[in-house]
Structure 1
Amino acid sequence: MAFLVQSKQAKPEEILLLAYGREAAEEMRERLEKKLGVKGITAATFHALGRCIVERVEKRPLEVSPMATDKAAKTHFINTVFEQNQRKPAYQQLLLRYFERWLHPVRNPFDFKTLGEYYRFLEDNGIRTLKREQVKGFGECDIANFLFMNDIQYQYESGYDTPLQSPDRGLYRPDFFLTEYNVYIEHFGIDRNGGTAPYIDREKYHADMVWKRRVHTEGKTRLIETYHYEKQDGTLLDVLRQRLEKFDVKFNPLPDEAVLETLREFGAVKKFSVILGDMLSLIRGANLSSDELRAVVEQAAHPHQIQAALHLLAPIRQAYEDQLHDSKNVDYDDMITKAWRYVKEDQFQSPWKYIIVDEFQDIAKSRAEMVLALKEKQQDVSLFCVGDDWQSIYRFTGSDISFTSEFEKRFGATQPNELDKTFRFNSKIGDVASKFVMRNPKQLVKDIKSHAVADCPMVSLVRASLGTKKEKKDAIDRITQRISEIAPAGSSVYFLARLKSELPDLEALTSQYPNLTFKNDSIHTSKGKEADFVVILGVVKGEYGLPSEKVSHPLIEALLPKAEAYPHAEERRLFYVALTRAKHRVYIVTDMRKCSPFVLELVKDRHPLTLEDLDGCEEQRLVSASTCPVCLEGNQVLKVNGKNEQSFLGCTNFPRCRHTEPCCPTCRGPLRPAQGAYRLCKKSGCRGWVAICPTSGGQMVYRESAKKWGCSHYQKGSANSCGYMIARIPAPRAT
């Protein structure tokens, strides 16, 4: 910019500099004026530019709505209008029909890789019935809510006693038992061809179906079957009603107001109000025309759901826009969309021949359209954009990475210039971060060179138990103590996390370590900042982990820029941003019992990490050995049977995953798979063992009354009982 002015290729008033934050715009203006002596350049945010254009055209100062600056005021307005509409019978019916079909975000269970991944999705996205039961699938949730809303009493997964029960099979728990009709319901997870999800053994599943039918036949109990494909076809509740009617089940639908009140108590109405507010912001923020909105519906994964929600949003949107009009106010979306329209319609004559946009990777549709309109309305306009697609992390606000990755397609002939040297992070941090982010082949390929060259790994993996607040605090204390030992006085330490609630108390740390300076931030707000040492907290899997397993609501997803095909593409960039805030060293904190797949990838791909630095206890190192063999996502943790006080290992995905195993009788740790007649402890140094019954494969336990060892599959009076006994079992030979 200074060169353009000093070489007399441009006048200052012909240059427009756009930044995303007010501070960034003011900082750039001050640099130009104080350091380079260039005055008169327009440096503004997009909103300030839009306001300037609108005020010039309308020849009046704009009044900004309180709802634009006060999120709580806008939320209150939307809630009030939403509640008023709920009292109207027609609107109430639309709302109830919506919740009947789309109470929860839905994904096809067949799309998951493991049973545990599916269970985690159900947990992270709060998939529960209106009676707040944790169910094992979307079909079961629909059935439970249908029964509830028709006042049909049921029990979910209550035990069923049958003489066909075998010791190696857990207690039979039919999905539903209708207590007033002695009718059972089983929802089977098969498609029309009898296929099962990829993580389910098809042959075993069909054998279980046959066994369950036999149980009901011999037990002379009535069974209704429903199927996964009926849920996918949208016919599940219709066929369920027909099958219930055949057994003379009476329907007593709850009054609409009672159902709505239940939904309010469940929290569904409040959550939906938030979603409607987000939809309003996205629609207005993207400046979607009627044709564009129609295309959004047609291209959505769930077009009927989007259309239904738009009908519910319509009176709220109208009330909001009427409020702005009547009060002669604007919001921030108006500033940009009105300005864009005035530029397009030649009501505003742009004086700018040189346009510079900072942080271009964060640009959204309406801002990009504004830039393009300014470019097209002047002859020979030069557009210079500075952006890094590796740091595009704001899709949830409407940011569209395709404007960066497809820049020439959107804005015309382009001359790229790469800034390939960084003065922030050292070469070893750069090696890890760059290789990690470029795992996505759609990211622009770059060779970033660091000014500071390191000769040993500068990314440390901290493995620690993080189940309680105390454990999290202990991990932070250990890391801070280590930094204090190795860092020069005055070094800065930056704690980052997805959620600010995960961040530590800086006042206490400052008091304890006066030789260091500390700061906190969410990862999203850390962009553009740096510190000597960075500690990334909460690098685990789950709803608020990294990557986050919480999916965008389908209504929001439909209005956002098209998602990238590569899994967790934006979350991968978010992790890159966190890693590259550090000058000297990064500490990644994880609990191996719920370890982030990003961490597992770093280890598997042999990134240059310090794995033993501040290493955790043996339990953390053994986690991979205690993965649940059934759901493959949960971990086996120590539990105690409340009836006999015996210790055992149970899955962390309980109650959805009910797999259990015996634990080592010596240290209560996990056991290895059977080797001959024994299962040996996995922990190094422990020589604990469990003997295996040669007849049934059950565990041999010492019967004090008989003074002998007997099989755990012994059940008195059962035809399937194992009565094998032996007087003495020698300890296995040491290997």
Structure 2
Amino acid sequence: MSFPWLGGDRFEQELLAEFATHNVAYLARQKERLKPFFDTVEKNPLTDDQMDGCICMDDAVQIVAAAGSGKTSTMVARVGYALHEGLVKPEQILVLAFNRAVAEELQSRINARLAGFAGIDAVTVKTFNAFGLGVIGKATGRKPSLAEWAEPGRDGAMIVEIIDDMRSSDDKFRHDWDLFRTVFGRDIGSWNEPAQANAYRDGRRGILTANGEIVKSEEERMIADWLFYHGVHYQYERPYEHDTATEHHRQYRPDFFYPEIDLYHEHFALNEKGQAPAHFGGDYLDGVRWKRELHAEKGTRLFETTSYEIRNADGFANLAAELKRSGILLQYGPDRQTKGQRPVTTEQLAATIRIFQQHVKSNGLSHQQLREAAAKDTRGHADRLTRFLALFERIADEWERRLREADCIDFDDMLLMAIDHIESGRFASPYMMVLADEFQDTSRAKVRLLKALLTNAGEEAHLCVVGDDWQGINRFAGADISVMTEFEKVFDNSTRLMLSTTFRCPAQLCEASSAFVQANPRQIRKTVETTNSYTKKSLHAFAAETQSLALARLEQDLQSMYDFARSGRLNTDSGDRISVMMLGRYNNDEPRGWQRWKRRFGDLLSIEYRTVHSSKGLEADYVMLLNVVEGMMGFPSQITDDPILQIAMPEPDPYPLAEERRLFYVALTRARRQVRIYTLFDSPSRFLIELARTGAVEIETEEGVLSPCPKCGCGTMRRYDGQYGPFEACSTHPRCDFKRNLSVESPRVAAPSNRVRIAHPMSAGDSCPTCGDGLMVVRSGGAYQPFLACSGYPSCKTTAALDGGTEGGATRARTLPG
């Protein structure tokens, strides 16, 4: 709020200070005078924060409500307060909700709790969509026809149908769609971001390709997948044909080798200026020069690509030209059977297209505006954006053609039509008090509608929005979190209030979840307090070797809870059954046959399964969070939170996986007592490692505790017995080279016996001279004296004498039998 007519900042500040003092005194008087009302309007007396949310009638009020803080009670009480004080009549109140279920709950609560007010049933409670249809009907005398296939839940199927029809009738579209899906379908991050491993195989951790190799970067994965789907025979990191191993360096392994044409291919992580990412270290460019000079000296053929080329269209064109020139026939086949990472499906990519389309229509963006936004994108993968937009434009145009052909509109069109009728005055708004629930799930178009209602109704109209930006998880439905976080920029003369006391989560969960979600600096800062007196440890995590063992541990935990409940040591205050909510990121995370647990434990435990999205607004005594692993379809999902959506948003959130972080926060805050997280030993989620790194949780295993790497924070520490004693190394090696020596008495870091971690030369051991991936570590047993063996056993069975003796400069090595 500003007052330029006052003539200076000093007077303005004094006036604002006087307003603040007056408001504080007014709030105190109102709370005292209306205490009987605030104590009885809802089932429990309102808190101070809730009363503030009822009394404040500034032009635009934003109530930021923590999870479990009683926002619905506040909305009901605000309606009651306005009626009690005679500020508005029931027919002048409009309450807008995100979905039908919430609207029905609000209507029911208002009618029940405020039944004593005459005409209470005249309060209008609707979803945005239902309200928009009503506006059009009143303004024109005729409601428009909405395409049934455009309804939420059915719209994705129409996108798939459009794609299938166009693939059948247009060879170029089919090729472009399938190539994007198989090679470009996954975001690869920014050039200067460290790669996030998503797989572990044969002693290697990295990125899984379609052909089943583990490669070091997403760019290498793209190249490998492009080669695979074009039918090109290649070998990844095959040892160079000339011996280059020295005492300090392993044998040189070029990135790709094409045996049919005797061609080596190195992919260098260089930008357009020939610079390497800062986290690569200063010796990377020396390595590039060494490789070039080596090939020139030995007379071997070398082809190069760079990050800049691969990300900006020239790289794959140059690769195709070189292979064709050398006699390789390129035969693209999108249906080739993969040995490793499966491609993004048409259904998955269609879902991204539909989300993108909703944001485009809500924000009124043209194809040209999207191209301009893509040109300004700073993530540095212009080729992917260009290919995506070309596909999107074809699909979006066909969507609009089908709407015209059916003489129908979709929900985005309907909302824009309603806005036009309100802004033009063809609809006269009777509403002097407008409330909007779940405001974090609001789109830019819905904000325009709210603004239009205020302007239409006149200066006396008030707006109050309630929501929690920490729980903004509906970008797939067109939501734009920035309307919540930038509320003061969207609405003039706005006021922000907080509901910061939760009635649900115990203190440890409040602290851990709040710190986790606020790692994104764009989230609204707040400190959450709790009335929950639960003081036991409320956050647990367990890492198993396999998915079946993780489910076995889950069943074991349920059995323990059941036994405690049967003995009377575990119960609820109400005397009801203990509620247990199993949560998964996806529908297919649902454990097979889990209904047997309902039958087995159902007399004392109330067990259900939900996706995290469907759990919002719900709670349980115990939450079991399943399959919290790293990977494309893990948690975080690396498909649904695609950064490509950002170019359709006026205020993009550049923080990595921001929506997935908020979704994880929602999962953590469903519990009244405990959250138990289940993961896999080889691929714990980066979110779980982050919680462990901050001390919020310990990742337990059958044999110990996994400790996060203190250097990179992405991997976990693994113990090895080296020639000079025990040591620990980061599981992401060679991406992270952190190591530290341990005392002999140090506890062994959990590591299943058949899951030896990869580690390269460190002070405690030498690099394996055979595979180059493992580390020579001390082994003993049977008839053998202590000896050195590759840490990659059993994939690599190389051993060496403990004294490290050499013959002609080479390590004396033998191969283990079997």
| Normalised-by-shorter TM-score class | 0.7 to 0.9
**Alignment length, in residue pairs?**
668
- CA distance in structure 1 between the aligned counterparts of 2:404 and 2:429, rounded to whole angstroms: 27
Are the structure 2 counterparts of residues 73 and 601 from structure 1 closer, same or farther at C-alpha, using a change threshold of 3 Å?
Answer: closer
Are the structure 2 counterparts of residues 549 and 328 from structure 1 closer, same or farther at C-alpha, using a change threshold of 3 Å?
Answer: closer
Match of residue 691 from structure 2? 602
Match of residue 255 from structure 2? 175
**Is residue 288 of structure 1 aligned with residue 368 of structure 2?**
no
Match of residue 24 from structure 1? 102
Amino acid at match of 1:10: V
**Is residue 511 of structure 1 aligned with residue 596 of structure 2?**
no
Are the structure 2 counterparts of residues 26 and 158 from structure 1 closer, same or farther at C-alpha, using a change threshold of 3 Å?
Answer: same
Amino acid at match of 1:624: M
Amino acid at match of 1:589: Y
Match of residue 365 from structure 1? 444
Match of residue 701 from structure 2? 616
Match of residue 774 from structure 2? 660
Match of residue 487 from structure 1? 570
**Is residue 543 of structure 1 aligned with residue 632 of structure 2?**
yes
Q: Which ranges of structure 2 fall in alignment gaps of 5 or more residues?
A: 1-78, 708-715, 720-729, 739-748, 761-770, 791-795
C-alpha deviation, 1:660, in angstroms = 1.4
**Is residue 316 of structure 1 aligned with residue 399 of structure 2?**
no
Match of residue 456 from structure 2? 377
Match of residue 279 from structure 1? 356
Match of residue 475 from structure 1? 554
- CA distance in structure 2 between the aligned counterparts of 1:264 and 1:163, rounded to whole angstroms: 33
Match of residue 44 from structure 2? none
Larger displacement relative to structure 2 (199-208 or 35-44): 199-208
Are the structure 2 counterparts of residues 724 and 106 from structure 1 closer, same or farther at C-alpha, using a change threshold of 3 Å?
Answer: closer
Q: CA deviation digits over 1:669-720, x for unaligned, max 9? A: xxxxxxxxxxxxxxxxxxx964699xxxxx99999xxxxx5777867xxx54
Question: Which of residues 474, 488, 492 in structure 2 aligns to 1:394?
Answer: 474
- SS of match in other structure, 1:415: strand
- CA distance in structure 1 between the aligned counterparts of 2:180 and 2:628, rounded to whole angstroms: 36
Verify the 8 A CA contact 1:154 1:177 in the aligned structure 2.
yes
Question: Which of residues 407, 412, 421 in structure 1 aligns to 2:487?
Answer: 407
**Is residue 9 of structure 1 aligned with residue 94 of structure 2?**
no
Verify the 8 A CA contact 2:517 2:523 in the aligned structure 1.
yes
Are the structure 2 counterparts of residues 287 and 536 from structure 1 closer, same or farther at C-alpha, using a change threshold of 3 Å?
Answer: same
Verify the 8 A CA contact 1:542 1:548 in the aligned structure 2.
yes
- CA distance in structure 2 between the aligned counterparts of 1:304 and 1:207, rounded to whole angstroms: 28
**Is residue 75 of structure 1 aligned with residue 154 of structure 2?**
no
Verify the 8 A CA contact 1:494 1:534 in the aligned structure 2.
yes
Q: TM-score, normalised by structure 1?
A: 0.77
Amino acid at match of 2:145: E
Where do residues 293-692 of structure 1 align in structure 2 (5 Å cutoff)? 293=370, 296-301=373-378, 306=385, 308-379=387-458, 380-454=460-534, 456-482=535-561, 484-485=563-564, 486-488=569-571, 490-504=577-591, 505-513=593-601, 514-550=603-639, 552-553=641-642, 555-560=644-649, 562-607=651-696, 611=698, 615-618=700-703, 620-621=705-706, 624-626=717-719, 627-628=730-731, 629-632=733-736, 650=758, 659-662=773-776, 665=779, 690=787
Q: TM-score, normalised by structure 2?
A: 0.70
Are the structure 2 counterparts of residues 170 and 322 from structure 1 closer, same or farther at C-alpha, using a change threshold of 3 Å?
Answer: same
- CA distance in structure 2 between the aligned counterparts of 1:357 and 1:499, rounded to whole angstroms: 29
C-alpha deviation, 1:359, in angstroms = 1.3
- SS of match in other structure, 1:660: coil
Verify the 8 A CA contact 2:188 2:218 in the aligned structure 1.
yes
- CA distance in structure 1 between the aligned counterparts of 2:635 and 2:675, rounded to whole angstroms: 16
- CA distance in structure 2 between the aligned counterparts of 1:77 and 1:570, rounded to whole angstroms: 23
Q: CA deviation digits over 1:273-307, x for unaligned, max 9? A: 55444433432344435775465344434566545
**Is residue 60 of structure 1 aligned with residue 149 of structure 2?**
no
Amino acid at match of 2:598: T
Are the structure 2 counterparts of residues 81 and 378 from structure 1 closer, same or farther at C-alpha, using a change threshold of 3 Å?
Answer: same
Question: Which of residues 281, 294, 302 in structure 2 aligns to 1:223?
Answer: 302
Match of residue 682 from structure 1? none
- CA distance in structure 2 between the aligned counterparts of 1:427 and 1:448, rounded to whole angstroms: 9
Verify the 8 A CA contact 1:124 1:549 in the aligned structure 2.
no
Verify the 8 A CA contact 1:396 1:560 in the aligned structure 2.
no
- CA distance in structure 1 between the aligned counterparts of 2:186 and 2:155, rounded to whole angstroms: 27
Q: CA deviation digits over 1:588-632, x for unaligned, max 9? A: 33445433344444344344x6x59xx532154576224334234
C-alpha deviation, 1:191, in angstroms = 5.0
Are the structure 2 counterparts of residues 596 and 151 from structure 1 closer, same or farther at C-alpha, using a change threshold of 3 Å?
Answer: closer
Verify the 8 A CA contact 2:149 2:158 in the aligned structure 1.
no
Verify the 8 A CA contact 2:97 2:125 in the aligned structure 1.
yes
Q: CA deviation digits over 1:515-556, x for unaligned, max 9? A: 111222222221211112222223333334444455744543
Are the structure 2 counterparts of residues 230 and 373 from structure 1 closer, same or farther at C-alpha, using a change threshold of 3 Å?
Answer: same
C-alpha deviation, 1:724, in angstroms = 10
CA RMSD, aligned part only?
4.5
- CA distance in structure 1 between the aligned counterparts of 2:640 and 2:412, rounded to whole angstroms: 26
- CA distance in structure 1 between the aligned counterparts of 2:401 and 2:570, rounded to whole angstroms: 59
Match of residue 50 from structure 1? 132
Match of residue 673 from structure 1? none
**Is residue 111 of structure 1 aligned with residue 184 of structure 2?**
no
Larger displacement relative to structure 2 (572-581 or 559-568): 559-568
Are the structure 2 counterparts of residues 667 and 440 from structure 1 closer, same or farther at C-alpha, using a change threshold of 3 Å?
Answer: farther
C-alpha deviation, 1:10, in angstroms = 1.4
- CA distance in structure 1 between the aligned counterparts of 2:631 and 2:545, rounded to whole angstroms: 13
Amino acid at match of 1:494: M
**Is residue 214 of structure 1 aligned with residue 294 of structure 2?**
yes
Verify the 8 A CA contact 1:440 1:569 in the aligned structure 2.
yes
- CA distance in structure 2 between the aligned counterparts of 1:551 and 1:545, rounded to whole angstroms: 11
- SS of match in other structure, 1:409: helix
Are the structure 2 counterparts of residues 658 and 53 from structure 1 closer, same or farther at C-alpha, using a change threshold of 3 Å?
Answer: farther
C-alpha deviation, 1:447, in angstroms = 3.3
- CA distance in structure 2 between the aligned counterparts of 1:573 and 1:564, rounded to whole angstroms: 12
- CA distance in structure 1 between the aligned counterparts of 2:678 and 2:173, rounded to whole angstroms: 49
- CA distance in structure 2 between the aligned counterparts of 1:664 and 1:297, rounded to whole angstroms: 54
- SS of match in other structure, 1:625: strand
- CA distance in structure 2 between the aligned counterparts of 1:314 and 1:567, rounded to whole angstroms: 26
Are the structure 2 counterparts of residues 661 and 519 from structure 1 closer, same or farther at C-alpha, using a change threshold of 3 Å?
Answer: same
Query: Kindly, what percent of the aligned residue pairs are identical?
Result: 24
Verify the 8 A CA contact 2:93 2:434 in the aligned structure 1.
yes
Amino acid at match of 1:463: F
Amino acid at match of 1:630: P
Amino acid at match of 1:434: S
